[in-house]
Chain A
């Protein structure tokens, strides 16, 4: 059931929130063992909240725009008292004593978190295979990965366990799994959604965003969680934008750039789907031109220095002193080493090593410092493109969902699956992935619409056009 229908029915008293939550819990029970989507299900908490929502409706109150809607939370979002592991052994058993701002806002809008979804460890991965709690399978094709790192959130929606889920996107971690699972995923403008309570991977790149089956559901969810938060210094000062009011704006007269670098090297079906999406936008009245932004090719290398550098510092705190895993040793340094060695998986270690190296004396200027300059170059290149067009179009991922295990042994191959999504994170801009077309084996593909900072209203209206075009196709 669609989130908006659930909320409308719950608010009207025609559906009980408890029933909506029980449906979700049942759907989870049916397939969670097979797919490994939720790493923790908060049955009691969810049912208690649902009962509260029903009582409020009975008293004539309006619990909000997501009243009674079951939601999944990526396991890097803190919710008071609910285990939060980030897919890592090192945080096994940790229950945060506070909630993320985005989670508080969902609760304030009447939504009901039903549990925490699986993810690549500390969001480092593109397949949800680096989780310490085992890989998640793609509900559309269980021998395939769901993408990552928000693979659990994508799978939860794709398997109809919940209508919407929150993920986080540092280099494509919402959009790529959305594409691989046939969903809509939004990476908001940096600062639109507060990061307070999102366990940091790379602080200058991380953003929380929604995954849903439709543009309208994703837009509604984003409206709820967006808007200034005084607890996040990098939060944009303005309130949440009106997105629902712009879903039907269309794209007539809009200038769209089909970006060569955001399709090159992709599977032929992916290229074809992106061209078909361009045609759909043209048919709806947009003026589509082909553009090249060669600087975007630098994104992957810059990202794999900047993100690990920030991560190496953000993940230093997992030292066995205050929370999470501790492996005992004779002195505190040995304890730190034993704890971190046992607590982190190989991919996390690899990135910590890479980031530590990029920041270390003698290499900072050559690697990290140079990557920051490349970031400037890319932002300037984007700015030039946005003088010519309003919106950019490209593929979300270069392939359809790949087989479990296919890229585990080859980090570089795995990193390349983020090549089209990374540039938006480096620029802090907004992007949305919309399902469009099918891959060689019939699996869903996604295309990406990109806009400058604060362009979410335009992106959702263009995405709605593609959504309609897909249904017609």
Chain B
């Protein structure tokens, strides 16, 4: 059985910016533990000499030329904004600086 705890699930929810009710926390802990149990088949394998594959195709280096192309108009950009002010996206106050 996976050693996933309720506290860990709560911590992960915090990292993912989700709020879970107590009931959801219990349910998710059980469901995630079930999936992780399956994954324990993988953990049991000795793959220390195997290189990871992050991507299925190896296309080499892909670059574009440094050329300016037209972007979106500001109206189009802000049309979908939940809140805009003064040509910018408006958000509630930010607590704490950027990492």
Interface flag for A379 (CB, 8 Å) = yes
Whether B18 lies near A97 (C-beta < 8 A) is no
Whether A190 lies near B18 (C-beta < 8 A) is no
Contacts of B52 in A (CB 8 A): 369, 372-373, 375-376
A411 touching B31 in the complex, CB below 8 Å, given contacts A190-B56, A357-B12: yes
Contacts of A370 in B (CB 8 A): 39, 42-43, 45, 47
Contacts of A336 in B (CB 8 A): 17
Whether A233 lies near B18 (C-beta < 8 A) is no
How extensive is the interface on chain B, given as a class? 35 or more
Interface flag for A426 (CB, 8 Å) = yes
Complex partner residue of B57 from A322, A353, A428, CB under 8 angstroms: A428
Whether B82 lies near A320 (C-beta < 8 A) is yes
A374 touching B42 in the complex, CB below 8 Å, given contacts A190-B56, A323-B80, A352-B18: yes
Whether B18 lies near A353 (C-beta < 8 A) is yes
Whether A191 lies near B57 (C-beta < 8 A) is yes
Contacts of A346 in B (CB 8 A): 24
In angstroms, Cα B19 to Cα A344, docked, is 11
Whether A341 lies near B18 (C-beta < 8 A) is yes
Could you say which of A236, A353, A377, A426 has the most chain B C-beta atoms within 10 Å of its C-beta?
A353
B residues 74-96 near A (Cβ < 8 Å) are 76-77, 79-83, 89, 91-95
Complex partner residue of B56 from A204, A340, A369, A371, CB under 8 angstroms: A204
Interface flag for A55 (CB, 8 Å) = no
Segment at the B interface, from A14-22, A325-333, A387-395: A325-333
Q: How far is the CB of A65 from chain B (nearest CB, A)?
A: 27
Complex partner residue of A412 from B16, B34, B77, B79, CB under 8 angstroms: B34
A340 touching B83 in the complex, CB below 8 Å, given contacts A237-B59, A332-B92, A372-B54: no
Contacts of A344 in B (CB 8 A): 18
Interface flag for A386 (CB, 8 Å) = no
Q: How far is the CB of B1 from chain A (nearest CB, A)?
A: 14
B residues 15-65 near A (Cβ < 8 Å) are 15-20, 24, 28, 31-32, 34-36, 38-39, 41-43, 45, 47, 50-57, 59, 62, 64
A-B contact pairs, 16 of them (CB 8 A): A98-B72, A191-B59, A204-B56, A234-B55, A234-B59, A301-B39, A304-B38, A332-B95, A335-B92, A349-B18, A349-B20, A356-B15, A360-B12, A370-B45, A376-B52, A415-B35
Please report B residues at the A interface, Cβ cutoff 8 Å: 4, 8-9, 12-13, 15-20, 24, 28, 31-32, 34-36, 38-39, 41-43, 45, 47, 50-57, 59, 62, 64, 72, 76-77, 79-83, 89, 91-95
Please report A residues at the B interface, Cβ cutoff 8 Å: 94-95, 97-98, 190-191, 204-205, 230, 233-234, 236-237, 298, 300-302, 304-305, 312, 316, 319-326, 328-338, 340-341, 344, 346, 349-350, 352-354, 356-357, 360, 366-367, 369-377, 379, 411-412, 415, 426-429, 453
